[in-house]
Amino acid sequence: MILVAGGSGRLGTLIVRRLAARSLCVRVLTRDRKRTAHLEPDGVEVIEGDVRERSSVDGAMVGVSTVVSAIHGFGDIGHVSPASVDRDGNRNLVTAAAAAKATVVLMSIVGASAEHPLDLFRMKYAAEQHLRASGTPWTIVRATAFAEFWLDLLDQTAGPSGRPVIFGRGINPINFVSVSDVAALVERVVVDSSARGETFEIGGPKNVSFNELAASLQRAAGRTAPPRHIPRPMLRLLAAVLGPVWPNRARQMRAAIAMDTLDLTFASTSLHRRFPELPETSLADILAHR
């Protein structure tokens, strides 16, 4: 049995479908089974639980030989945070998996480190370190930003004006990867035991700025209107004002500033030499198939 924590999410859904298509037994851990309704045709088991509670993680682990963690605490649902989900929730998953002698495949993020200015990256690193020290077989997959997520966000913010919102100047080059390429890698390392004890980094074929991403989206959508920009000082003000009342929204503002200022480029690695069958989807192809 393969337990996919985060199987209801954007990446998790694709992982679950790929594993189920191989006729592997899959169990999805979710806080609310309604969020897995779209997976019904895939015939997977669903168990309700919260990774922040050790007891619900233990309950989900019965009969499990592999755990895939595709969770994060950066969202708006249920007072989560990177500390409570990415660090502590993953700690619960890893500890329970180690007790069950199960393999863990952990989703992390390119650039995760103990010193990173964003707590998400620090908490992912803490989870990686806990996993490496756990004694249970492991594989870590670090990905760059998911192109589909950011294209959807640009599309949503375009609204009736047809002008997508860009946080900051939008000139910083960033690596965006197709979430389906990441799912293909996760599927591969789940079924390939030679990938244990290794950390794989996956990114897209090109680094592009938000201005370029938005321009590509506009062309694909047949729109000509220029994007709107939220200036960096406004993002800083929002982060400061929202911090005490709406910490997740403040965190998103800090992440927006980071995406406008930090080096988020990625140079392709040896990944495709190791796994030549893995897709490397271009932005044009992502846009063509949305």
CB nearer to ligand NAP: give 50 or 128.
Answer: 50
- Please provide residue 64's backbone torsions phi and psi, each rounded to the nearest 5 degrees: -90, 135
For residue 267 the two structure tokens come to 């140079």
111 binds ligand NAP (CB under 6 A): no
Residue among 140, 143, 214, 253 that touches ligand NAP (CB under 6 A):
143
- Please provide residue 155's backbone torsions phi and psi, each rounded to the nearest 5 degrees: -65, -45
CB nearer to ligand NAP: give 231 or 279.
Answer: 279
31 binds ligand NAP (CB under 6 A): yes
The neighbouring-strand residues paired with 177 are 146
Distance between CA atoms of residues 123 and 84, nearest Å: 9
Could you tell me how far CA 84 lies from the centroid of its own chain? 16
Residue among 10, 116, 228, 236 that touches ligand NAP (CB under 6 A):
10
- Please identify, among the stretches 72-80, 97-105, 207-215, 272-280, the one whose residues bind ligand NAP according to the rule CB under 6 A: 72-80
26 binds ligand NAP (CB under 6 A): no
Shortest reach from residue 108's CB to ligand NAP, in Å: 7
Shortest reach from residue 10's CB to ligand NAP, in Å: 3
Shortest reach from residue 274's CB to ligand NAP, in Å: 20
186 binds ligand NAP (CB under 6 A): no
- Give the Cβ contact number of residue 193 at 10 Å: 10
- Distance set, CA 218 to CA 158, 169, 256, 288 (Å): 9, 17, 21, 12
12 binds ligand NAP (CB under 6 A): yes
Q: Which of 140, 139, 216 is nearest to 176 (CA)?
A: 216
Shortest reach from residue 104's CB to ligand NAP, in Å: 13
Interface of this chain with ligand NAP, residues 74 to 103, rule: CB under 6 A: 75, 77, 80, 85, 89
Q: Which of 182, 143, 145 is nearest to 262 (CA)?
A: 145
- Please provide residue 50's backbone torsions phi and psi, each rounded to the nearest 5 degrees: -125, 125
Interface of this chain with ligand NAP, residues 43 to 62, rule: CB under 6 A: 50-52
| Beta-carbon contacts of residue 194 (< 8 Å; ≥ 6 apart) | none
Distance between CA atoms of residues 88 and 99, nearest Å: 17
Residues in the site for ligand NAP, rule: CB under 6 A? 5-6, 8-12, 29-32, 35, 50-52, 70-73, 75, 77, 80, 85, 89, 107, 109, 143, 145-146, 149
